[in-house]
């Protein structure tokens, strides 16, 4: 299983910043927020050329940003997660690694209010441009 | 004194060629597109927030309303995602019927795509022919689920109703007639000089750009990448069927158009095989009435929908409602490349590009 070798290499490089788990379908790499961009660059070099899905979850005390990344030529897959503070929801963009992050990051910003540092055009995408709330946050109650 | 000046033209949101509420703001220098911006959200319902307030089975009808042109596919993706979370077993008969319905939906969606490419370019007849044929699929859906468009036919654990006897002659004669229908499309549209002139070399996507921009489905395969989730990561019982992944080389509007016709043939092959192997038996597995996946359980399940990679990311907190549900919508992500491929082309080319990217806005805006 080639994923195993890649993960071993990443563990040697990122040490304590990286935690590895498996949910039965994806190997999950949980990385410290500061190292996210470096980890993603490494994954791209290892052949993970297709960022299939990027989203985030509000856990009320923290946000988790989730990346499902695939390799089209080698048909491999991996998931990356990073945990960010509720008070300062900001994480580095990956748009320079996978262009498809553009709208997906804008959507996460729009609906959950997470900022992606370095994104060239971080504006709302689904809701009106002058809307004020982030409706997928748990403190946004439906009336 | 003579001088030129760029003008801004709003294409949509109220325009038949935008396939729903799509709004493209394009800046022109004469007839040439200098730049364009896509504005979305005109049909945003926030289904992801609604999902958090509905139980797992209650959310099934909402998924049908995502890609309403191929409504069996998002429903299938959602049901399989929940089944993965709870480890449900699906009866064989239900699995085969799901494949038949999913592929009929794909054919319906591709027929509509071919027809709407034609009408967007001014060839009204093309739309009439494909609508005539698609109607037969709508009739089959009505027989089985009582609904033509928004079927909500899949259930968590199986399907809602068994196939009625009148379904079999209808589907068999439909499969038999497919070569004849395709011949007609070929004579009418593929051999048409105007279609060729309007689509060839327009909106070219390279294989590398396609993957980088996350383009999936027929739009990706038109660039020469043989990536189909039915083969790459088979879900359900797709590993039992023998079919090809058609690809093209140039990645232009023409290839995206032709590829959909070729995919109709492959889908009809799959339906044919599924009908031959269709076993007798139950149509619903043993699933609890109240579904509570384990707390902390999460799943990302993806299928090959008619438009591309359709994924459901669901997180459970142990209650009977999803804690978080995210839809990875292929129409949304495929549209991202539109400004890039339309730059330097003419107004009529952006219409062709929208049509051949084949977005459905219900799924795009969610």
Cβ-defined contact of B333 to A103 (cutoff 8 Å): yes
* Among B48, B214, B313, beta carbon nearest to A50: B214
Residues of chain B predicted below pLDDT 50: none
Q: Give the distance from CA B84 to its chain's centroid.
A: 22
**Which residues in chain B have Cβ-Cβ distances shorter than 8 Å to A136?**
46, 48-49, 324
Report CB contact under 8 Å: B212, A49. Answer: yes
Whole-number pLDDT of residue A88:
85
Q: What is the ipTM of this complex?
A: 0.91
What integer is the mean pLDDT of A33-58? 89
pLDDT at B105 (0 to 100): 93
Residues in contact with A10: Cβ distance below 8 Å, sequence separation at least 6, in sequence order? A18, A29, A39, A42
Asked if A58 and B324 come within 8 Å (Cβ–Cβ), the reply is yes
B212 vs A79, A99, A140: nearest CB: A99
In 3-state terms, what secondary structure has residue B298? strand
All residues of chain B having their beta carbon less than 8 Å from the beta carbon of residue A72 are 211, 225, 227
Q: Which one has a higher pLDDT value, A1 or B246?
A: B246
pLDDT at B15: 75
Q: What is chain A's mean pLDDT, rounded? A: 88
A26, A98, A126: residue with CB nearest B44: A126
Q: How confident is the model at residue A98 (pLDDT cuts 50, 70, 90)?
A: very high
**SS3 per residue for A21-69:** EECCCCEEEEECHHHHHHHHHHHHHCCCCEEEEEEEEECCCEEEEEEEE
Structural contact between residues A107 and A116, judged by C-beta atoms closer than 8 angstroms = no
- In contact, B366 and B128? CB cutoff 8 Å: no
What pLDDT is stored for residue A34 in this prediction?
86
Q: What pLDDT does residue B126 have?
A: 84
Question: CB of B337 within 8 A of CB of B215?
Answer: yes
For residues B106 and B70, give the distance between their C-alpha atoms in angstroms, rounded to a whole number.
Answer: 6
What are the backbone angles phi and psi of residue A79, rounded to the nearest 5°? -120, 145
Would you say A110 and B44 are in contact if contact means Cβ atoms under 8 Å apart? no
Q: Over the stretch B293-337, which tens digit does the pLDDT of each residue have?
A: 888 888 999 999 999 999 999 999 989 999 999 999 999 999 999
Say whether pLDDT at A1 is over 70. Answer: no
């Amino acid at each position: 299983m080639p994923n195993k070798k890649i993960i071993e290499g990443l563990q040697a490089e990122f040490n304590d910043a990286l935690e590895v788990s498996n949910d039965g379908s994806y190997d999950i790499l949980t990385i410290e927020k500061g190292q996210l961009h470096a980890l993603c660059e490494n994954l791209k070099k290892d052949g993970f050329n297709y960022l299939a899905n990027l989203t985030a979850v509000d856990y009320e005390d923290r946000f988790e940003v989730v990346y499902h990344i695939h390799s089209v030529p080698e048909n491999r897959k991996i998931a990356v997660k990073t945990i960010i503070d509720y008070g300062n929801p900001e994480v580095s963009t990956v748009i320079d690694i996978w262009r498809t992050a553009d709208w997906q990051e804008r959507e996460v910003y729009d609906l959950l209010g997470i900022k992606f540092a370095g994104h060239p055009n971080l504006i709302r995408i689904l809701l009106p441009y002058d809307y004020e709330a982030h409706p997928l946050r748990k403190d946004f109650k439906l009336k | 004194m003579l001088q030129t000046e760029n003008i801004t033209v709003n294409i949509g949101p109220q325009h038949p060629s935008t396939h729903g509420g799509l709004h493209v703001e394009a800046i022109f220098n004469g007839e040439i597109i200098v730049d364009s911006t896509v504005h979305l959200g005109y049909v945003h319902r926030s289904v992801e927030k609604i999902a958090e307030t509905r139980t797992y089975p209650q959310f099934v009808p909402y998924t049908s309303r995502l890609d309403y042109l191929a409504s069996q596919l998002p429903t299938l993706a959602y049901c399989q995602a929940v089944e993965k979370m709870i480890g449900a077993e699906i009866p064989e008969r239900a699995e085969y019927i799901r494949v038949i319905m999913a592929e009929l939906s794909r054919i319906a969606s591709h027929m509509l795509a071919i027809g709407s490419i034609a009408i967007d370019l001014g060839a009204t007849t093309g739309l009439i022919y494909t609508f005539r044929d698609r109607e037969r699929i709508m009739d089959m859906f009505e027989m089985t689920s009582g609904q033509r468009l928004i079927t909500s036919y899949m259930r968590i654990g199986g399907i809602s109703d068994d196939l009625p006897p009148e379904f079999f002659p209808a589907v068999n004669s439909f499969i038999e007639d497919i070569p004849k229908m395709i011949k007609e499309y070929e004579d009418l549209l593929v051999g048409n000089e105007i279609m060729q002139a309007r689509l060839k070399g327009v909106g070219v996507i390279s294989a590398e750009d396609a993957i980088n921009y996350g383009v999936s489905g027929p739009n990706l395969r038109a660039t020469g990448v043989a990536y189909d989730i039915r083969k790459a990561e088979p879900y359900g019982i797709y590993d039992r069927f023998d079919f090809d992944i058609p690809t093209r080389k140039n990645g232009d509007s023409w290839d995206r158009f032709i590829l959909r016709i070729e995919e109709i043939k492959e889908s009809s092959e799959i339906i044919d095989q599924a009908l031959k192997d269709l076993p007798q038996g139950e149509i619903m597995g043993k699933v609890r009435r109240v579904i509570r996946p384990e707390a902390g359980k999460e799943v990302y399940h993806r299928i090959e929908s008619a438009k591309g990679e359709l994924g459901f990311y669901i997180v459970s907190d142990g209650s009977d409602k999803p804690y978080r549900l995210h839809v990875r919508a292929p129409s949304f992500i495929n549209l991202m490349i539109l400004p890039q491929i339309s730059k330097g082309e003419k107004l009529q080319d952006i219409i062709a590009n929208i049509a051949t990217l084949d977005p459905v806005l219900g799924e795009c805006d969610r």
